């Protein structure tokens, strides 16, 4: 698809939409991919309002998508906000629920309405993690199986499977819960930032659940973006510093130091930046309540059997 776009080419469904869910999209220097996402969102029967937060280096993206029929509000950040762009979008949303997309992901028709129905029926539910399908072939994202096999005990007032992790571009939040938990943490910026938000929601009494009936589509670019391995490693350590007991923190640092000594990709840089940010993490440290820490420990034991510790769930 060309980055040149005629806004009138995409028409929104004429039937009344669902007023309960806003879609928040963060983007950075990928106008072509963003236009595809906006086209898909514009075609949804729910006709959701869409807030786009542009983290781009210049106004190229803003100019490319200006006037697109899906966009309700286009926010241009003064600097790259990373995952914190989602916080900005939620603050500007005027619906009780907010679904997240990246500039390479969107939602299947009906999923947003189903998510809103579940959030309506379960007032303690703070976040719904969706099933993610990747690429034109709609392949299962590996995280789907991890979330579906969560060992956390089912809770009678929540749907789906209780989890402590999710994919940032494939979830729907209760706006009240997201804001009360503080949203995404500024110390992490981007990369594996979801676990800390799940911890904070659970610590505040909100439920976090995986519901495979909700489906998000993810079409990542083949070349992706560099640096994610380093960010995920760094943010795993910082998350433990911010919320977990000291033995867990020391083990996370030791594992990262061993990975750095072995020359694992991104490990040395992750260790250096983790140490540099440690004082800030210490100043903001707030350990989890016992029931959430118990759940996190159970998931740690499960993750220890997966390569590189696996994904949080």
In DSSP notation, 44-106 reads: -TT---EEEEE--SSSHHHHHHTT-TTEEEEEE-SS--TTHHHHHHHHH--SSEEEEEETTEE
Assess whether pLDDT exceeds 70 at residue 15: no
3-class state of residue 148 by DSSP:
helix
Cα–Cα distance, 238 to 253 (Å, whole number) = 9
Which tens digits make up the pLDDT trace of 291-308? 999 999 999 998 877 554
pLDDT tier at 14 (50, 70, 90 boundaries)? Answer: low
> pTM to 2 decimals?
0.91
Assess whether pLDDT exceeds 90 at residue 167: yes
Window from 11-25, 52-66, 202-216 with minimum mean pLDDT: 11-25
**What average pLDDT is seen over the chain?**
91
pLDDT of 110 reads 97
Cα 213 from chain centre: 18
**Helix ranges, 204-245 (H):** 228-243
pLDDT of 77 reads 79
Q: Which are the contacts of 86, defined by CB distance < 8 A and separation ≥ 6?
A: 24, 26, 53, 100, 168, 183, 184
pLDDT tier at 221 (50, 70, 90 boundaries)? Answer: confident
3-class state of residue 197 by DSSP:
helix
Assess whether pLDDT exceeds 80 at residue 28: yes
Tokens of 123: 């007032």
Task: Work out the average pLDDT over 180-200.
Answer: 96
């Amino acid at each position: 698809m060309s980055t040149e776009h005629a806004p009138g080419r995409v028409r929104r469904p004429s039937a009344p939409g669902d007023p309960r869910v806003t879609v928040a999209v963060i983007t950075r220097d990928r106008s072509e991919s963003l236009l595809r996402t906006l086209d898909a969102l514009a075609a949804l029967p729910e006709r959701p309002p869409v807030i786009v937060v542009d983290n781009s280096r210049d106004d190229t993206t803003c100019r490319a998508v200006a006037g697109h029929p899906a966009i309700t509000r286009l926010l241009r950040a003064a600097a790259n906000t990373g995952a914190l762009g989602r916080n900005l979008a939620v603050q500007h949303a005027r619906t009780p629920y907010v679904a997240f997309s990246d500039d390479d992901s969107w939602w299947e028709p009906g999923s947003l309405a189903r998510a809103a129905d579940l959030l309506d029926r379960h007032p303690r539910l703070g976040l719904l993690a969706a099933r993610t399908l990747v690429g034109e072939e709609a392949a299962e994202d590996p995280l789907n199986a991890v979330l579906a096999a969560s060992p956390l005990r089912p809770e009678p007032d929540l749907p789906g499977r209780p989890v402590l992790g999710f994919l940032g571009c494939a979830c729907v939040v209760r706006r009240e819960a997201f804001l009360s938990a503080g949203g995404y943490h500024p110390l992490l910026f981007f990369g594996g930032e979801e676990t800390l938000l799940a911890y904070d929601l659970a610590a505040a009494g909100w439920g976090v659940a995986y519901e495979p009936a909700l489906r998000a589509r993810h079409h990542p670019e083949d070349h992706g973006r560099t640096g994610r391995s380093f960010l995920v490693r760094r943010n795993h350590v910082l998350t433990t510093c911010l919320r977990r007991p000291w033995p867990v923190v020391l083990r996370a640092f030791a594992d990262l130091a061993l990975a750095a000594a072995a020359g694992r990709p991104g490990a040395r840089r992750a260790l250096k930046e983790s140490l540099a940010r440690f004082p800030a993490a210490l100043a903001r440290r707030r350990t989890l309540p016992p029931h959430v820490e118990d759940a996190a420990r159970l998931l740690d034991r499960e993750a220890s059997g997966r390569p590189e510790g696996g994904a949080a769930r």
